[in-house]
Chains A and B, each alone.
Chain A
């Protein structure tokens, strides 16, 4: 679809805004609706739009697939890591109260870290799943939904 100038220009204008909104939802999730899960989905939808317009190869160039896998794993690691850190600092697993000088600060810090982990994993995971589907080779028999007839 990259030959269509309208799609290309509109996508180029929209994608930065979508990513900015995703970051807002991620880091403002403590105060307003949203959080890591929603932010991750919005972030991945921006990059899925990029893939739809400019092709999978261009998307792969923007964020290589090994990096996506790394980010997906990193999110889970960040989440469990926060829990284990609390364990080492004298609390229970995922009890953030011990992470900082006061329990409230610790809780706030823990929530932000954990939400960041959720955001990482969700964003990277959605892209990985989309790539797996979209990057699967098509055969001539399977090509396309436009051949269907009722």
Chain B
């Protein structure tokens, strides 16, 4: 069973790399938006393999669903210009990027393995959640219990952020009424 998991993980990760490189090479914005959506869908698959259906669900709905739609409507609103990338290879930025990437890769060794019960993140309150969430909240889905009860403040913050985002968009882009179409100069 573990081998199948690893195989699926590898396949998904390979596809992710392929998509990322494709996005870098593409010049057509519409295609980039569509492939970003596929990227999110594959990430949702990865979360699913990691037994995190709640996160996978959110990634599939938000990442490949709504944010793609928002990208597409943004593309219809903006003009896009393409310039052929003719810049020559620049050595100094390349060296800086390679050094930074190397440092990050080096740092990866200190990150706890996935599912390691001795990881600092798992030794604080996680035991309490796993043991008591159902008895204390009466909600079988532990993720819901943590999000809506134990960490209710965080979720409240998220909701307020989303609400504020919509207010910001409405202030910037207007009220979404098409009636004053002619008099409006962008």
| Residue A89 interfacial (CB < 8 Å) | no
Known: A133-B169, A135-B177. A114 touches B152 (CB 8 A): yes
B149 close to A110 (CB less than 8 A) = yes
* Residue of A103, A117, A134, A149 ringed by the most chain B CB atoms within 10 A: A134
Q: Which residues of B contact A31 (CB under 8 A)?
A: 139-141
Q: Which segment of B15-23, B60-68, B106-114, B119-127 sits at the interface?
A: B60-68
B181 close to A145 (CB less than 8 A) = no
- Which residues of B127-157 are within 8 A (CB) of A? 135-141, 143-145, 147-149, 152-153, 155-156
B180 close to A41 (CB less than 8 A) = no
Known: A35-B148, A38-B58. A134 touches B156 (CB 8 A): no
| Residue B93 interfacial (CB < 8 Å) | no
Q: Which residues of B contact A110 (CB under 8 A)?
A: 148-149
State the Cβ distance, B117 to closest chain A Cβ, in Å.
23
B28 close to A150 (CB less than 8 A) = yes
How many chain A residues touch B (Cβ–Cβ < 8 Å)?
63
- A73 to B164: give the CA distance in the assembly, Å: 10
- A122 to B162: give the CA distance in the assembly, Å: 7
* Cβ 8 A contact of A34, one of B57, B69, B152, B173: B57
Q: Which residues of B contact A65 (CB under 8 A)?
A: 175-177
| Residue B24 interfacial (CB < 8 Å) | no
B66 close to A41 (CB less than 8 A) = yes
The number of A-B residue pairs with CB atoms under 8 Å apart is 179
B152 close to A94 (CB less than 8 A) = yes
Q: Which residues of A contact B174 (CB under 8 A)?
A: 132, 135-136
B61 close to A150 (CB less than 8 A) = no
| A-B contact list, 19 entries, CB within 8 Å | A30-B144, A33-B53, A35-B144, A41-B65, A41-B66, A56-B178, A94-B156, A107-B145, A108-B137, A111-B144, A114-B155, A118-B148, A122-B162, A130-B73, A133-B74, A137-B184, A138-B77, A142-B78, A148-B80
Give the 9 A-B CB pairs with smallest separation, nearest first. Answer: A135-B176, A131-B176, A33-B53, A133-B73, A107-B137, A137-B181, A125-B166, A108-B138, A41-B61
Q: A111-B149, A130-B69, A131-B176 are in contact. List 13 more A-B contacts (CB 8 A).
A: A31-B139, A35-B148, A72-B163, A73-B163, A75-B163, A79-B155, A111-B144, A125-B165, A129-B165, A134-B76, A134-B176, A141-B79, A145-B75
